[in-house]
Amino acid sequence: MNKRSGIESKKKIIDAAMAVFSTKGYAKANIREIAKAAGISVGGVYLYFRNKEELYKSLINSKMHYIGSRLEITAGSAESATEALSDFFKLHLENALKHKEFILLHIREHGFAFGVNEKRQFFRKQRTLIENIIQRGMRSGEFRKCNADHMAKMIMGSLRGIILSMALDDDVHITPKMLNEFVFNGLLTAGKRD
């Protein structure tokens, strides 16, 4: 098997795992179903993953890496800090809506502790990206002076809460525009701001 074929096979397995885990849940899903959905033999799955848990962790890491890479590329190519932060929100919200069932499954069956070290690393990178965007905005005069580290933590914490709310409650519909308005304008009128 050549390297390219191996990469394609692994991607097929991860994509199939996403579909199977999202519909059946982690506990009820099995390697045989994932292999069938991927069009690969069960033995072929075991060439890449020792067991279902390793496949699941690989799936989570793959999704975090994918969204992290997209966010970095998008933020780096944005013409302004405002555009970069707006795009950051948009990509996160779109990803949350696209993978709502998987997010719910993960919370329901694994809670927040599963893969906690990988998640911490992912969220630290996201906060650093936001902090860099904020610093860029302060240098360009788009954003007022503030503690970029604290602001990045507040933004990331708020965003995570919004994504969780959207996953858990069908009545919560937050658009990128609504989030932009909240973050960029806040609640106070211009005369009342400190």
Q: Which residue is associated with the tokens 């069960």?
A: 42
Q: With 0-12 CB in 10 A as exposed, 13-18 as middle and 19+ as buried, what is 161? A: exposed
pLDDT confidence of residue 193: 55
Show pLDDT as tens, one digit a residue, over the chain (194 residues): 566 678 899 999 999 999 998 888 888 999 999 999 999 999 999 999 999 999 988 988 888 899 999 999 999 999 999 999 999 999 999 988 888 888 887 777 766 666 778 888 988 999 999 999 999 999 999 999 999 999 999 999 999 999 888 888 888 889 899 999 988 887 556 655 55
Residues whose CB falls within 8 Å of the CB of residue 46, separated by 6 or more in sequence, listed in order: 31
Query: Is the pTM of the predicted complex or chain greater than 0.85?
Result: no
pLDDT confidence of residue 3: 66
Domains (ranges, CATH) in the chain? 1-49 (1.10.10.60), 53-192 (1.10.357.10)
Q: Are 21 and 29 in contact (CB under 8 A)?
A: yes
